[in-house]
Amino acid sequence: MEENKIDSAGLKQMILSFPKPGKEKLRVGRGMGGRRGKTSGRGSSGQKSRAGKGIKPYFEGGQFPFYRRIPKLGKRGLKNRTYILRTSQLNKIGEGIGEVTMEFLISNFALRPKTRKIKILFDEKLKEKLIIKDRRILMSLKTKESLNGK
């Protein structure tokens, strides 16, 4: 008994000979006799009747678009990962602080290790004199004055 062996060309021909499911594609613009002649159902003129790219789905006719009206969402970079600290919080730690470094503030205030800058704002006078050892720790003018004891 011989087995029916089909090569790739024969298989392709067999697949192509199967009836296609669904409607046949409508052939438009084939003369004035049919419904879809001349302008092919697109109307007489204008942007939507032309071939090629149409109007983008987000285009609103020159009106300020919706995607630009809504606020920006999501992460906007890691450069500005700044934490704001108040002098009253520094007073709560207690006495004997002395030198203030970035590591000291991160460990005592449970900040993220990736904190880039810490800004110290003045809200009450500091109880003791502190020495800031890190240039990533920023201070307001009032805080600087209270540090120096003016």
Domain at 115, CATH number: 3.100.10.10
pLDDT of residue 150: 46
Position 90 scores a pLDDT of: 82
How far is it, in rounded angstroms, from Cα 25 to Cα 16?
A: 17
pLDDT of 65 reads 94
Q: Is residue 107 part of a domain?
A: yes
Query: Is 112 a member of any domain?
Result: yes
Could you give the residue ranges of the DSSP H alpha helices within 51-140? 66-69, 87-93, 102-108
132: CB partners within 8 A, 6+ apart: 100, 139, 147
- CA 70 – CA 82 distance, rounded (Å): 25
| Helix ranges restricted to H, 37-85 | 66-69
Residue 56 lies in a domain: no
Indicate the number of domains in the chain: 1
Q: pLDDT in tens for each of the 150 residues of the chain?
A: 556 677 878 888 888 888 778 878 888 889 888 888 888 888 888 888 888 878 888 999 999 999 999 998 877 666 667 888 888 888 887 677 778 888 888 888 888 777 778 888 888 888 777 788 888 888 878 777 777 654
**Domain assignment present for 140:** yes
Q: Which domain holds residue 94?
A: 82-148
Q: Tell me, rounded to whole angstroms, the distance of Cα 102 from its chain centroid.
A: 30
Domain assignment present for residue 49? The answer is no
Helix intervals (H) in 19-101: 66-69, 87-93
Which one, of 128, 122, 126, lies nearest residue 141 by Cα?
A: 122
- The reply to whether 143 falls in a domain is yes
- pLDDT (0 to 100) of residue 66: 94
Cβ count within 10 A of residue 91: 16
Residues 6+ apart with CB under 8 A from 101: 133, 134
Domain for residue 1, yes or no? Answer: no
Q: Is residue 99 part of a domain?
A: yes
